[in-house]
């Protein structure tokens, strides 16, 4: 027999076959069986082939060693011989009863059994032959051990190759799903497993796990579904952090899940990411004991590396997403700023949230018993459909809670909003009242967007919407108020104009008769007629002021200008108020002062200022005309009652009268100067007063030159 040939034989099974054949040929044995301890367990081969013979019931190295140990009492010259009569002692070890004596010779190397030769023989061989067999077994043992070291080295090399491969894959990609897809295939191949999967705890239903990556060969017929229950399966334990080692599936209660998917042995290791287990990797084998401790260590190391890579991906993506979300928020807020009305605000928000923040969203308003869909926008080409109307009472929880995740909602509204998907509903409050809510659909592919962060983001987004909504609602109120105000003021102006106009006719007639009476009547009743005349003139002034006031208030108030010489214009006005030239003194330059005026309206201004000066003083009033660099100036100075300090600007307001004028009972309406200011201002000029109480006032009107 040539043991050197054994060196060239590649697999433990082939080695066992060669050994059995060789030994059988070397002596007069009924049958020879070689047991070789290998990675996958104890490999057996008998010669002649197919004749049954010795076979271990449990083919593990431990059992093989136990078997040899149990033979101690049959030791003969370093071998063990069990006479035929005592082979019953082997009944528990072998599959079949043995009808001959059994000679067992351990295959040892450095004192450790690497297998055994089991020969069926009727007589114990002679010591000479035993020595020969022992020497043979020793060499064979060292060859098998050598083979084992080579296999271990190969395996180590293969495993470190796998780690290198995984590290490279994870370095290249920042896409979690892409990483997992290739890693499961690499791992499956390296462990020669039938199936490798990565499962993740389902976010919506914590009692389920989703298979997020799968690689399988066809060694197992049964397929595994995409979603598997956690309860009563090993996954439940894995998500609690345990490593599950199932060398022989079938004898534990939790095995039911594995049996169902045709698994004979399995390893499951958790991925620890940031101290949490949200996913795990499982290896399924089509044979029992398809792995050993080294494989387990290896898989744990793989899980560690993949977990690290996933944590990196997560960190990177969350940083990037956080930044892009902050930018998106800013853009949403910016677009919201221009929206004025409620509907517009809702549409702009939904459009910018879906476009900028890439969140599909739907906005609902509570109307009576229902939440009514106002706007819905999908992000990108994501499709979703949400109900038009949902019973409002289903959202009771939003009264006290700002953000509700899909799992926090009762089933009916959850399905109506998100269907089978996931999302968040955020309360929409205006002035502290629940106005409606915004529903956001959880974007797929954002693995690292953890709940707290997502909730925080949508809450901030909605806070801005709330602000804009409140503004839009307030704006609507104000616009309505302004419209009502404009309408009522327009009505009032029309009324004023109409009254003033209709007053003038009869008043002029009364004044005419008064004048006639004064001219013709004798002293009797003259005082009374004079009183009627003066009061009628007052009413005429009042009605003129009222007409002018109504005109300045009306929309589209405009001037009918002509260019005049201010000296002539003021001169004519002064003459009309003091035909006898007793009280008004006009001082004007020699040069023409060209001013563009609405003569009728500006005449009203001059009338008011001159009549006031005459009314509020008893002495001479000077009217000074001048032309300065800034324009023309008309100054009307009297030495009358003056205006108390602090009331100067009030005299130009509507119905504004100085306290001293009231006190002294001087009749007036407080409208004249207000109208005068309006008219001067539309001419591009200004009117001002300086005054000292009891000493007099100076009213000055400046006007730009005609161009």
Site of interaction with ligand ADP (CB under 6 A):
608, 612-613, 616, 638, 640-643, 651, 656-658, 661, 668-674, 697
Q: Which CB atom, from 59 or from 683, has the smaller least distance to ligand ADP?
A: 683
* Shortest spacing between CB 684 and ligand ADP, in angstroms: 21
Q: Exposed, middle or buried: residue 115 (CB in 10 Å: 0-12, 13-18, 19+)?
A: buried
* Shortest spacing between CB 671 and ligand ADP, in angstroms: 6
| Residue closest to ligand ADP when measured from CB atoms | 668
Q: Are 677 and 652 within 8 A, CB to CB?
A: yes
Q: Which CB atom, from 441 or from 616, has the smaller least distance to ligand ADP?
A: 616
Partners of 321 in the β-ladder? none
Beta strands in 315-432 (DSSP E): 361-367, 370-377, 389-391, 403-405, 423-430
* Shortest spacing between CB 398 and ligand ADP, in angstroms: 59
Helix (H) or strand (E) holding 562: strand 562-565
Collapsing DSSP to helix, strand or coil, 658 comes out as coil
Q: Are 213 and 177 within 8 A, CB to CB?
A: yes
* Shortest spacing between CB 593 and ligand ADP, in angstroms: 23
The terminus-to-terminus CA distance of the chain in angstroms comes to 132
Q: Which CB atom, from 257 or from 640, has the smaller least distance to ligand ADP?
A: 640
* Shortest spacing between CB 549 and ligand ADP, in angstroms: 10
Instruction: Write out the two tokens for 393.
Output: 């009472």
Q: Which CB atom, from 419 or from 656, has the smaller least distance to ligand ADP?
A: 656
Q: Which CB atom, from 422 or from 638, has the smaller least distance to ligand ADP?
A: 638
Partners of 107 in the β-ladder? 115
Q: Are 34 and 45 within 8 A, CB to CB?
A: yes
Q: Which CB atom, from 187 or from 643, has the smaller least distance to ligand ADP?
A: 643
Helix (H) or strand (E) holding 37: strand 31-38
Q: Are 398 and 437 within 8 A, CB to CB?
A: yes
* Shortest spacing between CB 625 and ligand ADP, in angstroms: 18
* Shortest spacing between CB 583 and ligand ADP, in angstroms: 13
Q: Which CB atom, from 166 or from 658, has the smaller least distance to ligand ADP?
A: 658
Instruction: Report strand pairing: 361-367 vs 584-587.
Output: unpaired
* Shortest spacing between CB 659 and ligand ADP, in angstroms: 8
Helix (H) or strand (E) holding 633: strand 631-637
Collapsing DSSP to helix, strand or coil, 272 comes out as strand
Please report, to the nearest 10 degrees, the dihedral formed by the alpha carbons of residues 143, 144, 146, 148 taken in order. 170
Partners of 38 in the β-ladder? 41
Question: How far apart, in whole angstroms, are the C-alpha atoms of residue 663 and residue 649?
Answer: 19
Q: Are 67 and 57 within 8 A, CB to CB?
A: no
Collapsing DSSP to helix, strand or coil, 267 comes out as strand
Q: Which CB atom, from 259 or from 692, has the smaller least distance to ligand ADP?
A: 692
Helix (H) or strand (E) holding 324: helix 293-336
Neighbours of 48 (CB within 10 A): 12
Q: Which CB atom, from 167 or from 669, has the smaller least distance to ligand ADP?
A: 669
* Shortest spacing between CB 426 and ligand ADP, in angstroms: 58
Q: Exposed, middle or buried: residue 127 (CB in 10 Å: 0-12, 13-18, 19+)?
A: exposed
Q: Which CB atom, from 428 or from 673, has the smaller least distance to ligand ADP?
A: 673
Instruction: Write out the two tokens for 282.
Output: 């499982």
Cis peptide before 48 (omega within 30 of 0): yes
Q: Which CB atom, from 458 or from 641, has the smaller least distance to ligand ADP?
A: 641
* Shortest spacing between CB 504 and ligand ADP, in angstroms: 17
* Shortest spacing between CB 587 and ligand ADP, in angstroms: 18
Listed in sequence order, the residues at least 6 apart from 251 whose beta carbon sits closer than 8 Å to its beta carbon are none
Helix (H) or strand (E) holding 74: none
Listed in sequence order, the residues at least 6 apart from 153 whose beta carbon sits closer than 8 Å to its beta carbon are none
Q: Are 409 and 387 within 8 A, CB to CB?
A: no
Q: How far is CA 698 from CA 274, 449, 635, 654, 680, in A?
A: 84, 75, 7, 20, 16
Q: Which CB atom, from 593 or from 679, has the smaller least distance to ligand ADP?
A: 679
Angle, vertex CA 8, rays to CA 6 and CA 14, nearest 5: 60
* Shortest spacing between CB 592 and ligand ADP, in angstroms: 28
* Shortest spacing between CB 509 and ligand ADP, in angstroms: 24
* Shortest spacing between CB 429 and ligand ADP, in angstroms: 51
**Tokens 């100036």 sit on residue:** 633
Q: Which CB atom, from 183 or from 658, has the smaller least distance to ligand ADP?
A: 658
Q: Which CB atom, from 271 or from 616, has the smaller least distance to ligand ADP?
A: 616
Helix (H) or strand (E) holding 25: helix 12-26
Q: Which CB atom, from 137 or from 621, has the smaller least distance to ligand ADP?
A: 621
* Shortest spacing between CB 688 and ligand ADP, in angstroms: 12
* Shortest spacing between CB 699 and ligand ADP, in angstroms: 7
Beta strands in 335-460 (DSSP E): 361-367, 370-377, 389-391, 403-405, 423-430, 433-441
Q: Which CB atom, from 301 or from 669, has the smaller least distance to ligand ADP?
A: 669
Instruction: Write out the two tokens for 433.
Output: 């009242």
Partners of 269 in the β-ladder? 281
């Amino acid at each position: 027999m040539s043991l050197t040939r054994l060196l060239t034989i590649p697999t433990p099974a082939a080695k066992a076959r060669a050994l059995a054949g060789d030994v059988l040929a070397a002596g007069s044995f009924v049958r020879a069986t070689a047991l070789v301890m290998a990675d996958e367990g104890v490999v057996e081969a008998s010669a002649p082939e197919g004749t049954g013979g010795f076979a271990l019931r449990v083919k593990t190295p431990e059992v093989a060693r136990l078997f040899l140990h149990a033979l101690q009492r049959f030791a003969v010259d370093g071998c063990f011989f069990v006479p035929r009569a005592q082979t019953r002692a082997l009944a528990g070890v072998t599959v079949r009863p043995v009808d001959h004596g059994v000679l067992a010779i351990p295959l040892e190397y450095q004192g450790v059994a690497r297998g055994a030769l089991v020969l069926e023989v009727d007589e114990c061989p002679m010591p000479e032959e035993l020595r020969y067999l022992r020497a043979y077994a020793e060499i064979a043992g060292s060859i098998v051990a050598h083979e084992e070291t080579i296999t271990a080295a190969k395996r180590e090399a293969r495993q470190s190759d796998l780690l290198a491969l995984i590290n490279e894959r994870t370095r290249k990609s920042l896409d979690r799903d892409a990483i997992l897809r290739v890693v499961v295939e690499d791992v499956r191949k390296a462990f020669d497993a039938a199936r490798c999967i990565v499962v993740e705890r389902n976010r919506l239903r914590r009692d389920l796990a989703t298979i997020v990556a799968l690689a399988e060969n066809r060694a197992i017929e049964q397929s595994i579904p995409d979603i598997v229950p956690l309860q009563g399966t090993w996954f439940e334990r894995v998500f609690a952090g345990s490593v599950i080692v199932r060398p022989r599936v079938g004898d534990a209660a939790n095995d039911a899940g594995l049996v169902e998917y045709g698994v004979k042995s399995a390893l499951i290791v958790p991925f620890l990411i940031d101290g949490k287990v949200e996913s795990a990797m499982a290896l399924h084998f089509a044979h029992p004991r398809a792995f050993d401790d080294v494989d387990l260590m290896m898989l744990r190391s793989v899980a560690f590396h993949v977990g690290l890579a996933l944590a990196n991906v997560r960190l990177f993506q969350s940083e990037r997403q956080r930044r892009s979300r902050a930018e998106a928020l800013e853009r949403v807020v910016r677009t919201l700023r221009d929206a004025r009305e409620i509907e517009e605000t809702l549409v702009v928000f939904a459009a910018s949230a879906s476009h900028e923040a890439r969140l599909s969203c739907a906005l609902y308003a509570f109307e009576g018993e229902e939440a009514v869909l106002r706007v819905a926008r999908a992000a990108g080409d994501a499709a979703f459909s949400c109900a038009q109307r949902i019973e409002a009472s289903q959202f009771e929880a939003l009264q006290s809670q700002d953000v509700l995740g899909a799992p926090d909602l009762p089933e009916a509204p959850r399905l109506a909003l998100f269907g089978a998907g996931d999302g968040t509903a955020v309360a929409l409050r205006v002035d502290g009242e629940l106005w409606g809510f915004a529903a956001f659909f959880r974007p797929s592919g954002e693995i690292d967007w953890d709940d707290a962060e997502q909730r925080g983001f949508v809450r901030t987004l909605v806070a801005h919407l709330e602000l804009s909504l409140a503004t839009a609602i307030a704006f609507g109120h104000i616009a309505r108020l302004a419209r009502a105000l404009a309408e009522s003021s327009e009505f009032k102006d029309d009324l004023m104009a109409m009254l003033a106009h209709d007053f003038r006719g009869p008043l002029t007639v009364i004044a005419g008769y008064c004048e006639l009476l004064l001219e013709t009547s004798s002293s009797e009743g003259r005082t009374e007629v004079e009183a009627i005349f003066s009061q009628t003139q007052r009413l005429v002034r009042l009605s003129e002021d009222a007409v002018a006031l109504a005109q300045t208030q009306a929309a589209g108030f405009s001037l009918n200008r002509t260019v005049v010489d201010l000296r002539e214009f003021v001169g004519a006005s002064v003459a009309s108020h003091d035909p006898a030239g007793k009280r008004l003194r006009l001082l004007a330059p020699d040069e023409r002062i060209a001013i563009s005026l609405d003569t009728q309206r500006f005449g009203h201004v001059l009338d008011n200022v001159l009549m006031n000066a005459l009314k509020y003083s008893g002495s001479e009033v000077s009217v000074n005309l001048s032309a300065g660099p800034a324009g023309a100036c008309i100054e009307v100075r009297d030495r009358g009652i003056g205006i108390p300090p602090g009331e100067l600007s009030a005299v130009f307001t509507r119905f504004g009268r100085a306290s001293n004028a009231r006190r002294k009972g001087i009749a007036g309406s407080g409208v004249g100067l207000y109208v005068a200011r309006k008219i001067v201002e539309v001419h591009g000029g200004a009117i001002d007063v300086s005054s000292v109480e009891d000493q007099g006032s100076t009213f000055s009107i400046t006007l730009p030159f005609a161009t």
